[in-house]
Homo-oligomer: A and B are copies of this chain.
Amino acid sequence: MIKIVAKNFVKKENIDEVIKLSKELVDETIKEEGCISYEMYQDVNDNSILTMIETWENRDVLAKHSKSEHFQRIVPMMSTHMEKPAEMNIYTKIL
């Protein structure tokens, strides 16, 4: 099981647009084989931090996800609205 935490730093004026784009990405991604969860969270202290917390069965299905049509189309559109590059960590569970 693979857990991803992808923390996005959104330009204040583009928060709504990024949420709208993310909605489509979430709706498509949760249909993917091996996707256990794919959820977007907003920081309670800074609404410009939008973080995707993802759970995948293994690295293979995750690799397939990053080649999917919706990922390839939507993620570049989202990145135009960011203040700085996302912080992404790929994790395995230890406790």
Which A residues fall within an 8 A CB radius of B? 2-3, 5, 7, 19, 22-23, 26, 39-45, 49-51, 53, 89-95
Chain B nearest Cβ from A72, distance in angstroms: 20
A50 CB to nearest chain B CB (Å): 8
* In the complex, residue of chain B having the shortest beta-carbon distance to the beta carbon of A1: B41
For A2, the closest partner residue in chain B by CB is B44
12 of the cross-chain contacts (CB-CB < 8 Å) are A19-B94, A19-B95, A22-B95, A41-B91, A42-B91, A42-B92, A42-B94, A43-B91, A44-B91, A44-B92, A49-B89, A51-B89
A91 and B52 CA atoms in complex are apart in Å by 11
Q: A5-B53, A53-B53 are in contact. Are A26 and B91 (CB under 8 A)?
A: no
